[in-house]
A and B are shown apart, each in its own frame.
Chain A
Amino acid sequence: MAASKMKHVNSSMPSPEDVYQASLSNGITVLARSNFNSPSVNMGGYLPAGALFESDEKLGLADFASSMFMRGTQKRSFDSIYNELETTGASLGFDSGVHNTNFGGRALVEDLPLLLKLLAESLITPTFPADEMERLRAQMLTGLALRAQDTSDMADLLFEQMLYGDHPYGRPTDGYVETIRSITRNDLETFHRLHYGPRGMVVVIVGAIQPKKAVEAVEKFLGGWQVPGQLEAPPLPTLKPVRKTLKRHHAIAGKSQSDLVVGMLGPNRKNSDYMAASLGNSVLGQFGMMGRIGDSVREKSGLAYYAYSSLHAGIGPGSWEVIAGVNPSNVRKALGLIEKELRRFVKNGVTKEELADSQANFVGRLPLSLESNGGMVSAILNIHRYNLGMDYYQRYESTVRSVKREHVVEVARKYIDPEKLVIATAGPGKG
């Protein structure tokens, strides 16, 4: 029943035929795809400038700098930039990670030129007004005060410090109170001048516009940008492996719930282990009601509202984490259950049925993740960032289904050693 009227089911997936790609002469890559179902357009992208360039004393600098881009440009004040956006119901924003500064926005299609104009002005001619800088600094410091009170954020922060040590991935991209206080206007201007430029920049546009028109629009606003001295990111240092299980607690008094993160290193996104690890992770702590971890910690023991696992795979060494929020008196019990599931996962891998379930889930959920313009922008960005090939989603089903049980148990054993876990907790008491 429910006969489909869709003529080409695969038209909901990006392919080399419908994603138009162009390289501008200054090094910017533009990818565009049409969707005329709604009169709107989404834009997303990144530039290779992030926390990798920061010194330990100035942590949070990339985040601070990119958050200042829209707080004043040579042509417009903070209020006038946002007035143009909000008057048309459009949005635009920047945020920084370790490797990149990401940007994203959306608008009614007639307002795409406005969006691109403001993107270009923010990136090319930010003025870092001193009063706006102090206002933003106050907001960032309040954000850090709230982070210090958040059991989930603090467990995560502690986990990353323990797992990555002095590797750049062990440092918070939003910095610390003392580093945010120490950042000067000169730091922001210099950071912008040295690290932001067109080389390596990617812009993706999806919506009610012909792809070639979208590329022309990007060319018009960003095609003339030249930054001769744009610095290359330093290579990632090698990581010291964890030699035995590490366990630490961050005390936050007066809280009713503790958060815990148990994990280890995982594959990066380009690694050939990625799909097997991802399917294994689904069985472990995602599928249905949070997989085996959810079944053990939540469904059978009633210890937590959330208990799941997740795989963070990006450019460098990824992490594989199990996360739960429990009553402080149940931390030990929950950790015991999680360790038990990890041992079982490493020893026996997954069953044939479990693997088939997760494979079916991965294939079946694809159209949902691609139905909105925003979802399509993310998909195209991922393809480009990790060099997956524009036919990635056309091949996706066979890639997923080609993973066998032995691959899953192999990657489980490769990455998870129950004797070498990193365990971080945050909450009241001594942990």
Chain B
Amino acid sequence: MKNPVTQVTLKNGMKVMLKEIHTAPIISSWVWYKVGSRDEATGKTGISHWTEHMMFKGTKKFPANILDRSISREGGRWNAATSRDSTRYYETMPAHKIDLALRLEADRMTNSIFTEKEVASERTVIISEREGHENEPMFLLGEAMQNAAFRVHPYHHEIIGDMADLRSITRDDLYTHYRTFYVPNNAVLAIAGDFETKVMLQRVRELFERIPKGEMPSRLIRPEPERKGELRLTVEGPGETTFTQIAYPFPSATHPDYFALQVLESLLNGASGLSYKTCRLYRALVDKGHTVDVSGWSESTIDPFLYRVTMIHPPDRKPEEALTVFDDEIKKLQDKPVPAVEIARAVKQARAVFAYGSENITHQAFWMGYTSMFSGYSWYTTYLNKLAKVTPKDVQRVAQTYFQSSKRLVGTYIPNGKGA
């Protein structure tokens, strides 16, 4: 494969992934910590995301205003995000300025301050962020679905956290969370761009290898028991539009059925990153006027999560009618194998999406780190081949296994007609 990746584990256990790309004078550097909402117990929900916000509040060496200013004045782009399984920080910079990003990340891996004052001001910022989400009917429905789908597993709560916890989490809770999970042996540094591997690796060692190894954080292990029977729920709120969401438990990203399910998903709701007007659900539901839109998605997670389909209903149609059409489409996939040509199409679509992604250095660095959170980089490099090996029979089998109505949840957002 072009542009091989150099993978090294430092003495303190931190994994380093380096990929030289010389198409633009840019370097993108990502630090990934294996901590997310999956690691949060009741009472501390949202703490990973809040910790991520606190990481921008500065260290002794890089106080908040200096931190921000230093990156921005070099024309860098930087940000962070918290997911269910991981938290990531990135800087994409002009190549000759990347050293600043590396020094900053090495420093804030252990030296972030977390003052009481900053925690207090960030509490209201995050509450405001959650209030913004609560303005959206789809957030309200999605959160209710997730709460109902996971009674035991910490995927129960949204990444932003519950309002009660956002009001009660303390500075010490946050700092303890930071010190527990932000250790080099729980981190991956992925860098792609215009550098020489040998030179870059030496600099990474200088900056990161001296950070002492920590105790490997313990994990909450609370597998979700299998659902016995379909669950239905409703959420009521402002507006005039009715939405339905259907959710099926899906296996983790490393499960042997993952790739057959990716193909199945592509047939149902289209390929990620492309338009989806000829996928099976669009043709059956939107083309026939049962819904005004339909979309579906799954996530690549460490533990089993969900495949979800959202339908937006026109005012004159009943959600039940669309659900019957949806069920018929699932039944077709369960009853007989799909034509091989449909699988070939899904593979070609994925190939195109991969080609578009290779134009962008930030994107390439993202994938190295992202896949290492739940698997390894080979998961990414072998993705297309594994997709191409999926057979019509595989697709039929996974349709039968995972799309059982007794395991699913169906939620409806019912507008109360107010708000305008």
List A residues at the B interface (Cβ < 8 Å). 1-6, 9, 12, 35, 37-40, 78-79, 82-83, 85-91, 93, 106-108, 135, 138-139, 142, 145-146, 148-151, 252-257, 287-289, 298-306, 325-327, 356-357, 360-368, 370-374
Contacts and interface: CB of A to CB of B under 8 A. Distances in A.
Interface stretch (B23-31, B141-149, B220-228, B325-333): B23-31
A107 B353 CA distance: 9
Contacts of B76: 364-365
Interface in B12-38: 20, 22-27
A148 B96 contact: no
B385 interface: no
Interface string B357-384: 0111110000000000000000000000
Contacts of A257: 128, 131-132, 134-135
Contacts of B196: 2-3, 5
A368 B315 CA distance: 44
A297 to B, nearest CB: 10
B241 A145 contact: yes
A6 B95 contact: yes
Interface in B88-109: 92-99
B81 interface: no
Contact of A364 (B94, B241, B360): B94
B278 A91 contact: no
Interface string B335-359: 0000000000100111111011011
A2 B125 contact: no
A363 B312 contact: no
B238 interface: yes
A8 B115 CA distance: 46
Interface stretch (B116-124, B182-190, B256-264): B116-124
A302 B289 CA distance: 45
Contact of B345 (A87, A149, A299, A364): A87
A86 B128 contact: no
A89 B279 CA distance: 13
Contacts of A361: 72-75
B1 interface: no
A165 B31 CA distance: 49
Contacts of A107: 352
B314 interface: yes
B164 interface: no
B314 A6 contact: no
A2 B27 contact: yes
B401 interface: no
B73 A364 contact: yes
Contacts of A362: 75
Contacts of A372: 359-360
Given A3-B199, A85-B275, A304-B125, A146 B355 contact: no
13 contacts: A4-B95, A9-B25, A38-B356, A79-B287, A135-B286, A146-B239, A257-B128, A288-B69, A298-B125, A360-B75, A366-B75, A371-B360, A374-B359
Contacts of A35: 359
Given A1-B199, A89-B351, A257-B131, A371 B24 contact: yes
Given A88-B348, A148-B420, A361-B74, 18 more contacts: A1-B99, A2-B194, A87-B349, A90-B352, A135-B287, A139-B293, A146-B241, A148-B419, A254-B416, A257-B132, A287-B69, A299-B121, A302-B123, A327-B127, A360-B74, A364-B73, A364-B76, A371-B23
B126 interface: yes
Nearest to B203: A1
Interface string B40-81: 000000000000000010000000110011011111110000
Contacts of A78: 277, 287
A321 B39 CA distance: 40
A305 B199 contact: no
Interface in B191-212: 194-196, 199-200, 203
A61 to B, nearest CB: 20
A362 B73 CA distance: 8
A90 B275 CA distance: 9
B283 interface: yes
A305 B292 contact: no
B271 interface: yes
Contacts of B77: 365, 368
Of B127, B350, B353, the most chain A CB neighbours within 10 A belong to B127
Given A146-B241, A304-B128, A6 B121 contact: no
Given A9-B25, A257-B132, A365 B277 contact: no
A52 B416 CA distance: 37
B237 interface: yes
Given A12-B25, A252-B420, A371-B359, A82 B128 contact: no
A363 B194 contact: no
B99 A88 contact: no
Contacts of B121: 299-302
Closest 10 CB pairs of A and B: A364-B75, A89-B352, A254-B238, A302-B124, A365-B75, A302-B121, A288-B68, A305-B129, A82-B277, A256-B131
A108 B352 contact: yes
A149 B200 contact: no
Nearest to A134: B289
A78 to B, nearest CB: 7
A82 B238 contact: no
Nearest to B288: A135
A4 B123 contact: no
A207 to B, nearest CB: 9
Contacts of A12: 24-25
B418 interface: yes
B240 interface: yes
B270 interface: yes
